[in-house]
Amino acid sequence: MGMVRAVRGAIQIESNDREAILSGVTELVAQVMERNRLTTDDVISVIFTATPDLTAEFPALAARKLGFHNVPLICASEIDVPDALPRVVRLMAHVEVDVPREQIQHVYLRGAVALRVDIAQ
């Protein structure tokens, strides 16, 4: 049996457009899964947040379209910090894996790389 680990990720979306949100979140989720060699059976749950300027679609819909049918997903609004990077979807996935915490690959894409230069892969 594996250990429970949390995987972080974020992506900056081009615009508050349904297709842009779905495309960006699909890219983010696919990269998190690929880089950590995960299947949906390894995923316990995923929390998505979107900055308040992204309202055209729920980020979780992209994960559902990727096959996350039996994985609990939730979306929330990120806090509206002045001068924060705009149009960002973040995720925190809880997964069951057989790797040490330091081998987890956190994924920051596009402009979101600036959020966590310390851990972006």
Q: What does the pLDDT look like over 39-66, one tens digit per residue?
A: 999 999 999 999 999 999 999 999 999 9
Domain for residue 120, yes or no? no
pLDDT tens for each residue of 1-22: 689 999 999 999 999 999 999 9
Which residues are identified as catalytic?
Answer: 8, 64, 75, 78, 90, 108, 116
Q: What is the pLDDT of residue 2?
A: 85
pLDDT at 91: 98
pLDDT at 113: 85
Assign 117 to helix, strand or coil: coil
* pLDDT above 90: residue 26: yes
Long-range contacts of the stretch 96-104 (C-beta < 8 A, 24+): 96/1, 96/2, 96/3, 96/4, 96/5, 96/42, 96/44, 97/2, 97/3, 97/5, 97/36, 97/38, 97/42, 98/2, 98/3, 99/3, 99/5, 99/36, 101/3, 101/5, 104/5, 104/6, 104/7, 104/36
User: Is 121 part of a structural domain of the chain?
Assistant: no
120 vs 107, more confident: 107
**61 with 34: CB under 8 angstroms?**
no
pTM of the predicted protein model: 0.93
Q: What is the pLDDT of residue 117?
A: 66
How many domains does the structure of the chain reveal? 1
**pLDDT at residue 14, rounded to an integer:** 97
Range of the domain at 64: 3-115
Instruction: For residue 22, give the CATH number of its domain.
Output: 3.30.1330.40
Residue 74 lies in a domain: yes
pLDDT at position 112: 87
